[in-house]
Chain A
Amino acid sequence: MSDIFTRYGDGSPTRMSKEDIRFDLEEGTQDAADRGKIPALTEAELDRLFEICTMPEKAVTVERGDEVIVSFDAGTLKLPVRAGVPMDRSAAILTHERAFCSDTMELGHVDYSYKQLKAIIHEECQAMEHIQLNTIIPVFYGAMPNLGLYTKPDGPIENWSELLPLAKIDEAKAAQEEAMEHAVKDIVYVASRMYESGADGINFDTVGASGDADVLATLKAAEILKEKYPDIAIEFGMAGEFVLGMHGELYYDGTRLAGLYPHQQVKMAEKAGAAIFGAVINTNSSMSFAWNIARAVTFVKACTEAASIPVHVNVGMGVGAIPVTNTPPVDAVSRADKALVEIGKADGL
């Protein structure tokens, strides 16, 4: 009998029988275990996950005492830009601090890539200095490494997304290696200036969006920054659940980056000096919430067990079992949060 209200990964509402939900939980954890070569959830954990998925309440919460830290990417893009509220970025941060009671916040520019920020770095520094006078919560400065921006027509380097389909593999690899050098310089420059202006932390958001070279550039930049500023707090937020091998032959500390899953990615981030790791598990919009959350929790549990630093799981639209829709439903979001914290042992979201 179809008696439990739930959703698909694209947010569509549906009803499923308890048997089907249980089946999808088992399939989801197995999928993560197969892909990541990590342990599947135990029967007891699946039982708890089943309870969370089938709770009749619209919104659920973690148990008292289990609360975690919430950090943000694209922080100041949300209220003034995406929501269209006519406020400046400092007002957005204060709204988060004093009205939403966010634990941390992030200052970011609408052109959210390190490369683009060089030209406006003075304005960004000034904004950070001003914001630091008025805020109490820690404020990150964040942007994306976005290696793709160094390719034609946006940059000087040949576009490997065009070279690869033409089977120009060596040229595509060389282009990525060249782009890395530019990206490292830009990331270090922008992050240094923002840290010196008082940023409490630097957020590398969507690391790996352009593949393994994007990850290596960010790891190298983090290493340089940590050596330059031993007290700098770096958050390393990933783009996807495994590192996309656009190059395929890039190594960090002897480990090939392409194909690494969250429990392996976190070790790279730690070595580079990150203080917080932002794990990402993609939501499959065709599958049920039960399948997606079982999969996400399995990856996160392996990641938090492997990590020596706190893991903040990405729970934005389309990741961490959050449905791929602009208005993620509260029932799915709150269940994802509860499961990731209680079973996945996330240190933050």
Chain B
Amino acid sequence: MAITHEMAAGMGGIRTAGDLVARMQMTKGMKIKEAKEYVAAKVGVSTFDLCDEAVMKEVREQLDIGHVQARVGASIGMEAKFNIARVLDMKIKAVENFKRKTGM
């Protein structure tokens, strides 16, 4: 079911920009159009390209916000989330917790 939904209508998660758009819906209550426009402006692509694997691979690698393919030295997990919070100009609770715990 998860795969069918993602194939039929999903944005593609970290393969594209699904996680980023989801964060704007969750934290700002933005509807899909507004959330896509916000993210597109922040990462510098069109809303149409937010679901394009080729375009978003480059964008994600350039911004170092995590991607499905493992790459030596690339940010993963919490590291990627630090960068996402900065790129999207938002607070991520787990990132804030990390900073507090490590005295950053």
User: Is there a contact between chains A and B in the complex with CB atoms less than 8 Å apart?
Assistant: yes
Residues on A lying within 8 angstroms of B by beta carbon are 59-62, 64-72, 78, 96-104, 129, 132-138, 195-201, 231, 233, 235, 275-276, 307-310, 315-317, 328, 330, 333-334, 337-338, 340-341, 347-349
Measured CA separation A315–B1 after assembly (Å): 9
Q: Are A200 and B29 in contact (CB under 8 A)?
A: no
Number of interface residues of B (CB under 8 A): 48
Q: Are A310 and B94 in contact (CB under 8 A)?
A: no
**Residue B32 lies at the interface, judged by CB distance under 8 Å to chain A:** yes
| Chain A contacts for B25, CB-based, 8 A | 69, 275-276, 310, 347-348
Starting from the known contacts A59-B7, A102-B6, 9 additional A-B residue pairs (CB-CB under 8 Å) come to: A69-B22, A97-B14, A132-B97, A200-B94, A231-B91, A231-B93, A307-B31, A337-B9, A348-B22
Q: Are B11 and A69 in contact (CB under 8 A)?
A: yes
Per CB-CB distance, the 4 closest pairs between chain A and chain B, nearest first, are A103-B18, A198-B94, A132-B94, A233-B26
Residue ID in chain A nearest B14 by CB atoms: A136
Chain A's nearest CB lies how many Å from the CB of B73? 16
Chain B's nearest CB lies how many Å from the CB of A311? 8
Q: Which of B4, B16, B50, B93 contacts A333 (CB 8 A)?
A: B4
Q: Which of A71, A198, A337 contacts B8 (CB 8 A)?
A: A337
Q: Which of A100, A235, A310, A341 contacts B9 (CB 8 A)?
A: A341
**Count of chain A to chain B residue pairs whose CB atoms are closer than 8 Å in the complex:** 183
| Chain A contacts for B29, CB-based, 8 A | 275-276, 308-310
Q: Which of B51, B66, B91, B94 contacts A65 (CB 8 A)?
A: B51
Q: Are B10 and A195 in contact (CB under 8 A)?
A: no
Whether A98 contacts B68 in the complex (CB less than 8 A), given A64-B48, A65-B48, A349-B5, comes out as yes
| Chain A contacts for B43, CB-based, 8 A | none
Measured CA separation A50–B7 after assembly (Å): 21
Q: Are A62 and B6 in contact (CB under 8 A)?
A: no
| Chain B contacts for A341, CB-based, 8 A | 9
Q: Which of B4, B9, B14, B78 contacts A101 (CB 8 A)?
A: B14
Measured CA separation A200–B23 after assembly (Å): 8
Q: Are B26 and A276 in contact (CB under 8 A)?
A: yes
Could you show 27 A-B contacts with beta carbons less than 8 Å apart? Answer: A59-B7, A67-B10, A67-B18, A69-B10, A69-B25, A69-B32, A70-B2, A97-B13, A99-B68, A100-B2, A101-B14, A103-B10, A103-B22, A132-B81, A135-B77, A137-B18, A196-B97, A198-B94, A200-B93, A200-B94, A275-B28, A310-B31, A328-B1, A333-B4, A334-B8, A347-B25, A349-B5
- Per-residue interface assignment for chain B, residues 77 to 103, with 1 indicating a CB less than 8 Å from any chain A CB and 0 otherwise: 110110010000001111001000000
**Residue B63 lies at the interface, judged by CB distance under 8 Å to chain A:** no
Q: Are B68 and A101 in contact (CB under 8 A)?
A: yes
Q: Are B77 and A137 in contact (CB under 8 A)?
A: no
Q: Are A330 and B6 in contact (CB under 8 A)?
A: no
Q: Are B4 and A349 in contact (CB under 8 A)?
A: no
Residue ID in chain B nearest A101 by CB atoms: B13
Chain A's nearest CB lies how many Å from the CB of B16? 8
Whether A102 contacts B23 in the complex (CB less than 8 A), given A67-B51, A310-B29, A330-B4, comes out as no
Q: Are A199 and B93 in contact (CB under 8 A)?
A: yes
Chain A's nearest CB lies how many Å from the CB of B75? 9
Measured CA separation A309–B66 after assembly (Å): 28
Q: Are B8 and A100 in contact (CB under 8 A)?
A: no
Chain A's nearest CB lies how many Å from the CB of B51? 5
| Chain A contacts for B4, CB-based, 8 A | 59, 328, 330, 333-334, 337
Chain B's nearest CB lies how many Å from the CB of A289? 15
**Residue B61 lies at the interface, judged by CB distance under 8 Å to chain A:** no
Q: Which of B3, B12, B23 contacts A138 (CB 8 A)?
A: B23
Chain A's nearest CB lies how many Å from the CB of B50? 8
